[in-house]
């Protein structure tokens, strides 16, 4: 399959000293991890986000929230990085400064070989005490009635992810904002651009004068601000971009 890429974009990329990227659930769709907001197949197709991804939801029904994350933790562990993840890892090797910020909790960028990755919404592989925030070291304990408890603190365990209304990890957010402000080229890949503060990063990059490239099969609220809007799957477009740099 041939993908038409704007030649100006390839020229900009060849000149770029600083490249930054923001990814969302769409980049992992081709690894068979459902996105959140797809009306039919998305992770929230039969639940509203407020029922699952808030501290209040966990307080109301910790067992249901735990089970939902346990199901997804297993799915993420079995998933395999796709050519989109691999292409971003390859791009990192080719540029002086590369910063990858992901909203995903699946760890697939690191497994694809990306080295400098900031996880804005945490990681589904880690769990922590809901009362103290202390991370669990080692295996998740078995228990009859989930969630299990932290062996040291005695508090219920929850995933180490960022729910609505919770603060994002400070260092990840600061580094990502700085990378957006300094980028020559900024990619926003596979995100609906609805959830803040992540959705503010490409806007910061535009304001700072970067060339901003959106890769998504669908339009988003960010599309009209993008310098280049590439409609299609990231697992096809990103490898085509990396290949074009070699020509």
Q: Which residues bind ligand BJW (CB under 6 A)?
A: 24-26, 29-30, 35-37, 42, 53, 103, 105, 121, 161-167, 190-192, 194-197, 215-218, 220, 233-235
CB atoms within 10 A of CB 90: 19
Task: Let me know if 85 is a catalytic residue.
Answer: no
* CA 230 from centre of chain: 19
Which of residues 2 and 144 has its CB atom nearest to ligand BJW in the complex? 2
Shortest Cβ 96–ligand BJW spacing (Å): 26
The residue number with the shortest CB distance to ligand BJW is: 26
Return the sign of the alpha-carbon dihedral for residues 61, 129, 104, 191.
Answer: positive
Which of residues 37 and 126 has its CB atom nearest to ligand BJW in the complex? 37
Closest residue by Cα to residue 30 from 83, 74, 86: 83
118 membership: H or E segment, kind and range: strand 117-119
Which of residues 191 and 211 has its CB atom nearest to ligand BJW in the complex? 191
Shortest Cβ 239–ligand BJW spacing (Å): 12
> Tokens 């996880």 appear where?
119
Active-site hit among 85, 109, 121, 150: 121
CB atoms within 10 A of CB 206: 17
Q: Which residues are catalytic?
A: 121
């Amino acid at each position: 399959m041939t993908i038409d890429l704007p030649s100006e974009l390839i020229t900009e990329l060849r000149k770029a000293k600083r490249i930054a990227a923001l990814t969302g659930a769409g980049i992992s769709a081709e690894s068979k991890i459902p996105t959140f907001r797809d009306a039919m197949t998305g992770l929230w197709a039969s639940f509203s986000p407020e029922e699952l991804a808030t501290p209040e939801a966990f307080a109301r029904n910790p067992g249901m929230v735990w089970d939902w994350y346990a199901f997804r933790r297993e799915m993420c562990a079995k998933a395999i990085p796709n050519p989109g993840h691999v292409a971003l890892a390859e791009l990192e090797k080719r540029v002086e400064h590369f910063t990858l910020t992901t909203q995903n909790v699946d760890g697939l960028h690191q497994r694809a070989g990306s080295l400098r990755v900031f996880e804005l919404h945490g990681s589904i592989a880690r769990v922590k005490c809901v009362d103290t925030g202390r991370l669990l070291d080692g295996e998740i304990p078995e228990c009859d009635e989930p969630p299990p408890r932290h062996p040291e603190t005695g508090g219920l365990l929850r995933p180490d992810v960022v729910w609505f209304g919770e603060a994002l990890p400070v260092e990840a957010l600061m580094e990502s904002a700085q990378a957006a402000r300094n980028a020559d080229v900024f990619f926003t890949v596979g995100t609906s651009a609805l959830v803040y503060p992540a959705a503010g990063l490409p806007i910061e990059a535009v304001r700072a004068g970067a060339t901003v490239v959106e890769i998504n099969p669908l339009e988003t609220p960010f599309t009209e601000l993008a310098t280049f809007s590439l409609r299609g799957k990231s697992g096809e477009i990103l490898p085509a971009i990396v290949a074009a740099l070699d020509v």
